[in-house]
Amino acid sequence: MKREIITTEDGSTTIHLPEWDEQYHSKHGAIQEAYHVFIEMGFFYFLKNDNPDSLKILEIGFGTGLNTFITLIEAEKNNTKIDYTGIEAYPIENFEI
């Protein structure tokens, strides 16, 4: 499947799949979307409501690994251990990183 690297409105990049007319992340901002959806509405939600020392995360559609990277950054800031599993049907190539 053909993939193209595109720049999103916040200056970060994502992968566009022309055949499906889909992107791995929002064209409006890959980092902005990852922080809003994955961190603020997911990770921070559990920290605030459950105050855990550790979390287990399963990401179906690992994509570029952006959510994992941002989760690592925030987990270190919040001293939270993460057991992270990501599954991807179409892994990206090294040159796409």
Query: pTM for this one?
Result: 0.85
Query: Which DSSP letter does residue 90 get?
Result: S
Q: What is the pLDDT of residues 26-60, one digit of tens each?
A: 999 999 999 999 999 999 999 999 988 899 999 99
pLDDT digits (tens, 9 = 90+) for 55-89: 999 999 999 999 999 999 999 999 999 999 999 99
* Mean confidence (pLDDT) of the chain: 93
Say whether pLDDT at 17 is over 80: yes
Q: Which residues pair with 54 in a beta bridge?
A: 81
